[in-house]
Amino acid sequence: MKTYVYLDHFRGEVVPAAWEALGVAKSFGEAVGLVFGSGVAEIVGQAFEYGADEIIVADDAALVDFRPETYASTLSAVLAEDAPALILLPATTRTREVAAMSAIDLQSGVLTDVGALEFDGEQVSAIRPIYEGKLFEKTICAARPQFVLLRARAFPRPARVPGRSGTPRQVSAAGKALTTVAGYAASESSVSLADAGVIVAGGRGVSNAPALGLDEAATAQKGFELLGELAGLLGGAVGASRAVVDAGYIPYAHQVGQTGKVVAPDLYIAAGISGAIQHVVGIRSAKLVVAINKDAEAPIFQAARFGVVGDLFTILPALTAAFKQKLGK
């Protein structure tokens, strides 16, 4: 069984979940990586090292910027020609568009946001959370190819084997872009919570430290400095509840929850977050949740494996000091 894997990247940087998808494909048999773009030789090399058995590459100036029209048309052409039963894609904003457009071309269906798979050698049963994670839905796609979008960090990343290589098969780009990219500009916050292994998140509690004698905004700034220090030490990212995003203490890119990001880190530290359901739905896939809150009755403790009842302005510096000592930093 050959499973196709779409290796999604932005300007040459492959999303980590693409390698996870490659690992899933390998567990079913052979993995065929698809690499589209312009000047993508490096990605092809990485894909062989991560275990791709074959690679199909469309390296074309027409694909220099991601445009769903050209990428989907190229994907449809390859899939129509090769007729695989299954294609896996890491779930990203780009792949949601590409998979949907290509599935329409090929009159097939898309299974989205998949966190677990069952596979009988022919048919995939995709399991995904619905209703804010209260239920798991099992879905199948009767048409072929089955397009399956995998959630980031839901599957293990395969080991990279330096020096493993192969010869890719070249194909042409297809389709015509109806829009062009005039330019890119970095946003003020480019945090990537979906791929983070550790997230240290703050809620309204970061703005509550009367002893500091500061106003709420200045207190929150101090609070997020403490969070950032711990996150930096652990190689993680800073997350936030909606309350502090709405208050303007941190950009929206950091928001976790129903209207923010759904995350799946190995460790999620929630400091000064009450644990409203709209926040908790975003952390259901976290492997370990630690809560720090002054209020022993705060609902976040129901979602946490470990809880510390106390003031985050005392607990966070103590945690950082303890980790520094333990890690020898």
Binding residues vs ligand FAD (CB under 6 A): 203-205, 208-209, 241-244, 255-260, 272-274, 276, 278-279, 282, 292-295, 298, 311-313
To the nearest 10 degrees (0 to 180), the angle between helices 93-105 and 68-82 is 50
Pick 125 or 258: Cβ nearer ligand FAD = 258
Q: What's the closest the beta carbon of residue 310 comes to ligand FAD, in angstroms?
A: 7
Give yes or no for a cis peptide into 145 (omega within 30° of 0). yes
DSSP string, 241-266: -HHHHHTTSS-GGGBBSTTSB----S
The gap from C-alpha 294 to its chain's centroid, in whole angstroms, comes to 31
The pairing of beta strand 2-6 with beta strand 30-37:
parallel
Distance CA 286, CA 243 (A): 21
The least CB distance from residue 277 to ligand FAD, in Å, is: 7
Residue among 134 and 138 whose Cβ is closer to ligand FAD: 134
Instruction: Give start and end residues of each alpha helix (H) in 54-156.
Output: 68-82, 93-105
Contact 279, 256 (CB under 8 A): yes
If the CB atoms of residues 227 and 256 are measured against ligand FAD, the closer one turns out to be 256
Q: Which is nearer to ligand FAD, 75 or 269 (CB)?
A: 269
Written as six digits, the tokens of 326 are: 């333990």
Residue 307, classed as helix, strand or coil, is: strand
CB of 261 to ligand FAD, least distance (A): 8
We find the least distance from the C-beta atom of residue 298 to ligand FAD, in angstroms, to be: 4
Tell me the CB-side half-sphere exposure of residue 134, using CA atoms within 13 A. 5
Least separation in angstroms between CB 201 and ligand FAD:
9
Residue 311 backbone zone (phi > 0: left; psi -120 to 50: alpha; other: beta): beta
- Nearer of residues 158 and 239 to ligand FAD, judged by Cβ: 239
Q: Which is nearer to ligand FAD, 282 or 307 (CB)?
A: 282
CA 57 vs CA 49, 102, 112: distances in Å: 16, 17, 24
Nearer to ligand FAD, 210 or 235 (CB): 210
